[in-house]
Amino acid sequence: MLPFLVQLILIIVVLFLPASSFAIECINTKFLFDIKPGANQPSDIALDSKGNIYLVDGVNSRIIVVNDNGGWKFSFGSEGTEKGQFKLPLGIDISDSGKVFIADTGNSRIQVFDSEGNFLYMFTVKAGHGEAPSEPVDVAASNLNNFLYVSDNNNHKIKVYKQNGTYDFEWGGFGETSGEFRYPGIMTLNEYNEIFIVDVLNTRVQKFDPFGKHIVSIGSWGVLQGHLFRPKGVALGKKNRVFISDSYMGVIQAFTDLGRFLGVICENNRIKKFKSPVGIIADKNDRLLVVEMRGNAISVLKILE
């Protein structure tokens, strides 16, 4: 890692250098619309089988649900420790069966709801011997063995449960080598049940098989295209693309699932800037939905190429 002063100089250069002064590998998109449902620093997003959008509005201790055009449907949750209440939730996923899994981060637990927001059950993400209290920041529901992956930010591990809340296995630990983490965050799964995990301070996304065997690391530290400074979200799209949001640089980049850089999300051949992009998802209609934490919005783009 470069000294802080060098990092700062590089950031200033990139932010203020005209885009025309260096070649940009663009993946062009068309801005469609913003969804602004009254969230305060939203963090993550999920889609159900009907295309409805579930947004984690953690500061307001609730989940907001809108339709695929951004029309309000309903919300659920409130602040607290009881069933159906949240304390600064961060992550979300929806299983193929329609169960909505929420990483109730401040309460060290996972809560499960039906598609209408009705509480079903919950379970605590347990800390092992000598570990800090768990801090689950995201969940990923797999079709394989009914696995539910939980990223425990406090203990730098991925803890795997059955979707009914039964503990199964885990991997990771604090470090910089393959299979270790420094603050694992948002996750996503591909059709082969391989899991992609944002490894925030190691400035990469790690790809694993369903049982935690490391496959490849995507990205490395830097402020120019093809590098990551503060990755926060990951999504899988068509054409073998892995989209990664960089909350500090305000950009989204695309790589292959084996780590080759493909391009930066652009609009009219210019880099598209976002307000602290975090959770992202690509839908079946080639739309990219981007949660802008500082913009308190979901930005919806059409991928053109």
- What is the residue-wise DSSP string for 48-112? -TT--EEEEEGGGTEEEEE-TT--EEEEE-EESSSTTEESS--EEEE-TT--EEEEEGGGTEEEE
Q: How far is CA 11 from the centre of its chain?
A: 23
Tally the residues of the chain. 305
Residue 109: strand pairing partners: 104, 124
Kindly indicate the confidence band of residue 17, based on its pLDDT and cuts at 50, 70 and 90: very low
Q: Mean per-residue pLDDT for 138-145?
A: 97
Contact predicate 148/101, CB 8 Å: yes
pLDDT at 278: 98
- The chain-wide mean pLDDT, for the chain, equals 94
Q: Which residues, 6+ apart, have CB-to-CB distance to 192 below 8 Å?
A: none
Whole-number Å distance between alpha carbons of 59 and 44: 12
| pTM as predicted | 0.93
Residue 62 banded pLDDT, cuts 50, 70, 90: very high
In contact, 76 and 30? CB cutoff 8 Å: no
CA distance linking residue 1 with residue 161, whole number of Å = 34
